[in-house]
Structure 1
């Protein structure tokens, strides 16, 4: 299970830290809540303990998993959708999983798409690309003691390799 001080990832919110576990009385019932703080967004939220397993909350990646992250940033995944709305929806669904590898696939795919297009990405694709980068940056900061700038540079360096730069 999780403890106070653990660095965790909450799907679509990014990486944060468990600051506290509080007991609250709600409708005459005592419930435990995990108090999560997300420093990159400066957001605090309370997650009921009985919803932890279904929430997708997980610990941040370990340094040993960086090679897998780099591979995902360089390779992406094949998408089947040519329809821009469906393509955007697929990327949004990948981001909602909370998986750093899925976020890396979104970055790889959209970076390649942006590189190949002469007029840039559609607005929804740009939003998904920014969100994916933000999710990975938040996790790299907590998991690997990187600064925000170092984390963005890490992403850019590894994505450029897949574009032949």
Structure 2
């Protein structure tokens, strides 16, 4: 596995895969794709139990990363209460920007997006697609917080909900 990227991930490592959330590397498999043998990380996702395969030599470009370290979780959780992101007012460019933030996989920006959408929903209801982005982003962060702090998913979701409710009262 010499092409294991700069991430240097190993079987058993907890990782985050953008748009899917936290998971654990179960193993590495070889597959032949277009006549070439490639290694794939086999990752079990925390929330769904679904297994995904990520090409080892493209893992970093696909956004696969290690779980946020436990000592960074307080900073991550405080991102929910930071000032709202400056998103376009028009729906189409705003939706594109929200999707781009999820794809980038920067957990701190995603937390700010969740906070922004939560507070926006207090003033008026979110569009169905925006609500889906909110729910997905919140779920992704909850899985990461759960793994990093050794919590069950419901407890991590509860902590996030408490922070969001507090940010609305401020």
TM-score > 0.5, shorter chain as reference: yes
The answer (yes or no) to whether the contact 1:14–1:98 under 8 Å persists in 2 is no
Q: CA RMSD in A?
A: 1.6
Count of aligned pairs = 163
Query: 2:31 maps to which residue?
Result: 24
Query: 1:105 maps to which residue?
Result: 112
Displacement of 1:155? 0.6
The answer (yes or no) to whether the contact 1:40–1:138 under 8 Å persists in 2 is yes
Structure 2 counterparts to residues 41-60 of structure 1, below 5 A: 41-60=48-67
Question: Is 1:155 aligned to 2:123, yes or no?
Answer: no
TM-score, normalised on structure 1?
0.90
Query: 2:3 maps to which residue?
Result: none
The answer (yes or no) to whether the contact 1:79–1:87 under 8 Å persists in 2 is no
Aligned counterparts of 1:82 and 1:52: Cα–Cα separation in 2: 34
Query: 1:13 maps to which residue?
Result: 20
Aligned counterparts of 1:70 and 1:142: Cα–Cα separation in 2: 14
The answer (yes or no) to whether the contact 1:34–1:49 under 8 Å persists in 2 is yes
Q: What are structure 1's unaligned runs of at least 5 residues?
A: none
Query: 2:98 maps to which residue?
Result: 91
Aligned counterparts of 2:32 and 2:103: Cα–Cα separation in 1: 30
Aligned counterparts of 1:84 and 1:49: Cα–Cα separation in 2: 36
The answer (yes or no) to whether the contact 2:118–2:164 under 8 Å persists in 1 is yes
The answer (yes or no) to whether the contact 2:21–2:46 under 8 Å persists in 1 is no
Aligned counterparts of 2:37 and 2:53: Cα–Cα separation in 1: 14
Q: Deviations over 1:82-125 (max 9, x none)?
A: 112222221111111122212211111011101122xx211111
SS in 2 for 1:125: helix
The answer (yes or no) to whether the contact 1:9–1:59 under 8 Å persists in 2 is yes
Aligned counterparts of 1:104 and 1:13: Cα–Cα separation in 2: 15
Query: 1:122 maps to which residue?
Result: 127
